[in-house]
Amino acid sequence: MSIKDIMDTMDYGPAPEGAGDARAWLAAHDHRLGHFIGGAFTGAEAAAIAVENPATGEVLARIPAAGPAEVDAAVAAARAAFPRWAKLSGFERAQYLYAIARGLQKRERFFAVLESLDNGKPIRETRTADLPLAVRHFYHHAGWASAVESEFPGHAPLGVCGQVIPWNFPLLMLAWKIAPALAAGNTVVLKPADLTPLTAVAFAELLCEVGLPKGVVNIVHGGAETGALIVRHPDVAKVAFTGSTAVGREIRRATAGSGKRLTLELGGKSPFVVCADADLDAAVEGVVEGIWFNQGEVCCAGSRLLLQEGIAEDFLARLRTRMQKIRLGDPLDKSTDMGAIVSARQKARIEGLLAGARAEGYSLEQSTCPLPDRGHFVAPGFFADTEPAATVSQVEIFGPIAVTTTFRTVEEAVSLANNTAYGLAASVWSENVNVATELAARIKAGVVWINATNVFDAAAPFGGVRESGFGREGARAGMAAYLCPTAPRRRAVQIAPADLTACTGTEAIAPGILDRTMKNYIGGAQTRPDGGASYVLRGRKGEALGLAPVSGRKDIRNAVEAALKAGGWAANAHGRAQVLFFMAENLAARAAELSATLVQMGVTPADAAQQVRKTQERIFYYAGMADKDDGRTHATKPRHLTLSIPEPLGVVGVVAPDEAPLLSLMSLILPLVATGNRVVAVPSPAQALIMQPLYQIFDTSDLPGGVINLVSGERDGLAGVLAAHDAVDGLWYHGSAEGAATVEALSADNLKQVWTNGGLALDWADDRAASGREWLDHATQIKTIWLPYGA
């Protein structure tokens, strides 16, 4: 096309970016790349996995697959490097992170071109989004490294971190994972996707140039088998994974009972809500960025368009016009808007889902832009009218295809937005601040953009809820995920025996015991267990003290339903504080009764008095914190108000230990209810007598029914029901190591957040160990809201 032709048509002419440097780099390696272990490259001679250019099908290089020997070597190198790296001052680690950031900046063009060749995304995206964000993460975390001692006092790095990253943002995901791990003092074994490993190898070379100590970062190649070896390795202290929900479930099961810390950033099916008062042209451009950016290969893509009925037809007409202007083609052409799908397999998966939707009766509209003769390309498109239950409305397509549904009211928009198992992100478009903030508050997602979409920054926490995973990356929360509180060694928990055989009435019952035939406490009322059976609670000498319910699955179900109805508890922090202060007052009034009950259960009089006193102190502490669990405003992009708001998990199961029966049970319940959660608690089976005075205190403290529910019975059986229950959003378990492993494995199906004692006993009287900020953080999850401002 000549310049005259371009001036006549005003079409974009070709503007290719030179790939000479990247291709020379590949040639210098003879198109064979190896692992990076202990500061050296190895294994290139065994390279057999072909790495293709998605836009052409050309084989760019070959990589080896790491097996047990290579993964063992990488973990050993990281473990050997950990003590010296962790002992460096924060300033010394910050200097390395700064040098990495500067090195990436100096080679931005090289890395951008290599990324486009490897992944198929347009050069304008790698150059203006991927690379600057990767650099930003290393700069940002250099700052955290230099401040870690003052900002995280009493915390230490975890050790060796295993990190597995996806193919859609290869270098950026590497930066998201490695930067906070190094800043906190950890060492790393990272596996890039076998489809897109090139920039990870180039990054490893950069680490050698800046002089990063050997073994601090190790990079091994391979597929799912290699990732599984890293996840399961006994010397890996933390696993950070970004990828599919299905693989996230397998990782949760694989790490159950191992004590490994876990961060999962998984799939999404994010709603893109356009209200009648929205700026429709801006919202159309939001769709371009929300679902056609990066070929739609974005976990938080706004792939479900929810349009208010009054503007739906107009909006779709504008969207059709805009879609036809998307330029699809050579990723290295600076005029290209959309590049190639990462692989033939991914393209086939997308096309299979589209064919299935057509078979279900839905009509797909796609751009008529010509597709290149070779490579893996899919034209941008959308389904104009899909039912919420349609497969393509529920399943992550991970391609440049949106689905569309209409709504009438804000209430209906919230219902549709939350009609998915995922909860990664959402985008809301409205010029009415009341409508926008109402939707942002009620949509279940870890990130919400208002009049924007796909905006990221290292200073803003990112992560999901529900089946989109748990944990946050970026900002303070992302740093905290790579640190742990320093604590004294803890002994293995001792499980107190409890005979849960149903009482037959044949045993002689001491006078007054009939008055202690307790019931469960569900929805603010005393309720009989579903099976109607009770078991005998015994004192230190085996004497009968009372009867407690033998509860089962239906009792947990009833308690969860009661908790779900108490959702208003989360709304008023001051109101929660008042109820808790009143609870402390009523506990003080019943101190003698509580102490006497504890003594009957085998606690010494001195310990009983201490438990009651310390419980009252804990209630006061959490009452005071109920309205002080502040969010943050982050310094991110100019003219953006970026807020992190701690939200309650929802309904949380609590399984209490045998030790310190009053103090431990209340120490588990209090941070949860203070932050707005509702609780279904299982007290110690051997010490369930504590239920009776507690629910009398709850009844007289204006506690709304359903906020705290007490269900007694076999600890691990009830814990398993809570772990498997889809409506339970979190579980705090304190029991045996085997029980902790079981509930972690059972939680994989719904990916709820589980926090366990790992089978180790806690000193419940120690405020540093059994209360405080860590407990409040575990009781909440961060929602990040982005609000651009200005005309």
To the nearest 10°, the Cα dihedral for 501, 503, 507, 510?
110
Distances (CA, A) of 129 to 86, 112, 169, 283, 458: 32, 10, 10, 20, 13
Half-sphere exposure of 450 (CA within 13 A, CB side): 25
Q: CA-CA distance, 614 to 603, in Å (whole number)?
A: 15
Count of other CB atoms within 10 angstroms of residue 693: 17
Q: CA-CA distance, 26 to 482, in Å (whole number)?
A: 34
Residue 322 Cα to chain centre, angstroms: 34
Phi-psi region of 329 (alpha: psi -120 to 50; beta: other; left: phi over 0): left
Token duo for residue 363 = 């009509």
Q: Which residue out of 70, 289, 297, 299 is catalytically annotated?
A: 299
Phi, psi of 485 (to 5 degrees): -65, 140
Catalytic-residue membership of 125: no
Q: Which residue out of 17, 52, 70, 265 is catalytically annotated?
A: 265
To the nearest 10°, the Cα dihedral for 555, 558, 562, 567?
100
Contact assessment for residue 273 and residue 426, using Cβ atoms and an 8 Å cutoff: yes
* DSSP 8-state secondary structure symbol assigned to residue 703: P
Phi, psi of 157 (to 5 degrees): -65, 160
Q: CA-CA distance, 25 to 277, in Å (whole number)?
A: 52
Using a 10 angstrom Cβ sphere, with 0-12 exposed, 13-18 middle and 19 or more buried, the burial of residue 318 is middle
Contact assessment for residue 118 and residue 198, using Cβ atoms and an 8 Å cutoff: yes
Q: CA-CA distance, 654 to 447, in Å (whole number)?
A: 27
Token duo for residue 364 = 């797909």
Catalytic-residue membership of 58: no
Token duo for residue 263 = 């961060």
β-pair type (49-52, 59-63) = antiparallel
The residues, any chain, with a CB within 8 Å of residue 718's CB and separated by 6 or more, are 551, 552, 556, 655, 682, 711
Phi, psi of 235 (to 5 degrees): -95, 5
Residue 165: closest CA among 243, 91, 233: 243
Phi-psi region of 53 (alpha: psi -120 to 50; beta: other; left: phi over 0): beta
Count of other CB atoms within 10 angstroms of residue 538: 18
Catalytic residues: 265, 299
